[in-house]
Amino acid sequence: MKVAVVGATGLVGTKMMQVLAERNFPVTELIPVASEKSVGKEVDFKGKKYKVIGMKDAIAARPAVAIFSAGGSTSLEWAPQFAAAGITVIDNSSAWRMDPSKPLVVPEINADVLTENDKIIANPNCSTIQMVVALDPLHKKYGIKRVVVSTYQSVTGTGVKAVTQLMNERNGVQGEMAYKYPIDLNVIPQIDVFLDNGYTKEEMKMVKETCKIMRDDNIKVTATTVRIPVMGVHSESVNVEFENDFELNDIKVLLQNSRGIVLVDDITTQQYPMPKDAHEKDEVFVGRLRRDESQHNTLNMWIVSDNLRKGAATNAVQIAEYLLSKGLLK
């Protein structure tokens, strides 16, 4: 099967190719695609070199699927052109997520919405993905009323420029800055631009995407998203109010038996999820489970996942795997 990776030279695009190889997706020909300035560069896939090509040449090559990670404006311009050529697009940008005609998919939760007519499929925001993977089984059993989430997000969510800024600062080197402020030995309580309501775009993504993925507009979500000097993994402190009461042990059993989740929750041995343990893993790690003693039917939890893998590349490849398994990729 011909597979295009659009944005192949970026952090997420590179990770897409790594995950495609690791999961043995049936790629007969890789088509790496990037902006004009990167055309002609070579990328490595399974020990073979492939030359990066431009958008028009990629469409002409007629891949079965194109996995996009090239930013919203690129997706808005080019995804419809790929789709018009019969190519299924899985898009990692925010461009199509809240379009009512486009599915927003986390395979563990709502892959069943996908049909052969869906030619542009949206991959959710990284911080939303890991949260809903952990919340969905709880919602099905107890009914979620409200979620309060604070995130601790890796610099890799911004891209190569932010990783370089962090390492430059750590090594005392002056260089180009991805952020307005230093990030090493600092936290920045702003991810993406501010909106009229005082929230950032990232925060509102979590609010809106959660309801769409979990197919319940009654779930109330409020978020504070924060950038921290960590590479490769996002963490989240999540407070969940349920319609119905719960036993803590039942919550643990439910999460333990849910697809894509690893429970790490033993305070007697100080076991809990940390970024260093989730790095380069595909699962969502959950721990620090405890009842909120200030309010009825409410749970506190800590959710950790690799933002370039489950938060982006792995989720996109899992969507492609689902489409393949259902005969929706030709």
Instruction: Report the domain count for the chain.
Output: 2
Looking at the structure, tell me whether residues 281 and 167 fall in a common domain: yes
Residue 190, pLDDT score: 98
Looking at the structure, tell me whether residues 134 and 200 fall in a common domain: yes
Q: Is 234 a catalytic residue?
A: yes
- Tell me what the pLDDT averaged over the chain comes to: 97
Please write the tens of the pLDDT for every residue from 95-110. 999 999 999 999 999 9
Looking at the structure, tell me whether residues 116 and 209 fall in a common domain: no
Looking at the structure, tell me whether residues 143 and 217 fall in a common domain: yes
* Averaged pLDDT for residues 228-239: 97
Residue 287, pLDDT score: 98
pLDDT-derived band at 330, boundaries 50, 70, 90: confident
In the 8-state DSSP scheme, what is residue 186?
Answer: -
Looking at the structure, tell me whether residues 138 and 49 fall in a common domain: no
* Averaged pLDDT for residues 150-155: 98
Nearest to residue 304, comparing CAs of 258, 272, 266?
A: 272
Looking at the structure, tell me whether residues 297 and 319 fall in a common domain: no
**Residue 250 located in a structural domain:** yes
Looking at the structure, tell me whether residues 228 and 120 fall in a common domain: no
Please write the tens of the pLDDT for every residue from 54-109. 999 999 999 999 999 998 999 999 999 999 999 999 999 999 999 999 999 999 99
Residue 149, pLDDT score: 99
Looking at the structure, tell me whether residues 153 and 193 fall in a common domain: yes
Q: Give the SS3 label for residue 43.
A: strand
Is residue 264 within 8 A of residue 210, CB to CB? The reply is: no
Looking at the structure, tell me whether residues 46 and 135 fall in a common domain: no
Strands 88-91 and 120-122: parallel
Please write the tens of the pLDDT for every residue from 241-266. 999 999 999 999 999 999 999 999 99
CA 311 from chain centre, in angstroms, equals 2
User: Residue 3: beta bridge partners?
Assistant: 30, 65
Percent of the chain with pLDDT over 90: 98
Q: At residue 168, does pLDDT exceed 80?
A: yes
In the 8-state DSSP scheme, what is residue 3?
Answer: E
Distance CA 76, CA 69 (A): 12
Please write the tens of the pLDDT for every residue from 15-48. 999 999 999 999 999 999 998 899 999 999 999 9
Strands 65-68 and 298-306: unpaired
Looking at the structure, tell me whether residues 188 and 108 fall in a common domain: no
Looking up residue 167, the CATH number of its domain turns out to be 3.30.360.10
Q: Which is the catalytic residue, given 211, 234, 279, 296? A: 234
**Residue 108 located in a structural domain:** yes
Residue 2 amino acid letter: K
**Virtual CA dihedral for 87, 88, 90, 94, nearest 10 degrees?**
80
Q: At residue 51, does pLDDT exceed 80?
A: yes
Looking at the structure, tell me whether residues 32 and 153 fall in a common domain: no
Is residue 79 within 8 A of residue 99, CB to CB? The reply is: no
Q: Is 126 a catalytic residue?
A: yes
**Virtual CA dihedral for 312, 192, 208, 304, nearest 10 degrees?**
50
Looking at the structure, tell me whether residues 102 and 189 fall in a common domain: no
Predicted TM-score (pTM) of the model is 0.97
